[in-house]
Amino acid sequence: LKYNEPWILQRADPYVYRHTDGSYYFTASVPAYDGIVLRHAGTLAELSGAEEVMVWKKHESGPMSYHIWAPEIHYLFGKWYIYFAAGEAEDVWKIRPYVLECDGDPMTGEWSELGPMKGCDDDPFSFTDFSLDATIFEHKGDYYYVWAQKASNISNLYIAKMAAPNKLATVMEMITTPDYDWERILFWVNEGPAVLKHGGKIWLTFSASGT
């Protein structure tokens, strides 16, 4: 029995998206945290040896210039989107969520910057503090955005409906906070949400405690 064998080396925060044609796209944080990579294959097994392309590089200064973290690729509203978190060279822990868009082939097409993810018009709190690890899921024709955000130095998970690929439609609602001892080891943290849909139910997994 083989176990505990790396699937893809030197890639943190991995995310795999299965497209409507059955093929798979993979992205992840790279050790230098300096850009976003993408690979594509017909099967999960083939992803480990698939060619990898750097589809976007960080800025030299200002927003999106440091700590390029936890990218996810999604096909929404008829286009491709990459969601990721980033800091600034001048303020490396000013981590906020950002969005890239591509209306062509995600491997070879041009990715344009839509800038930061925006809250809805009457929500003054979304993304105002350390925010990262966003994921997206569909339910009954609507898209929902789930992310981790600090409040009083505690990392909670929040959810909101999406109005557009880079904007929320509803006020953020907290869905988890580190209430239990096993969520408070070293740091009080709920982060890294991931959604599973099965058997008519929606399951949300997440990471807790020291990162």
- Residue 195: which of 48, 72, 93 has the closest Cα? 72
5 counts as catalytic = no
Q: Which of 72, 133, 183, 191 is catalytic?
A: 191
Q: What is the largest CA-CA distance in the chain?
A: 55
101 counts as catalytic = no
Q: Which of 13, 113, 123, 129 is catalytic?
A: 13
Q: First and final CA of the chain: distance in angstroms? A: 30
- Residue 100: which of 76, 80, 78, 120 has the closest Cα? 80
The H-or-E segment that residue 100 falls in is strand 91-102
Give the catalytic positions in this structure. Answer: 13, 191
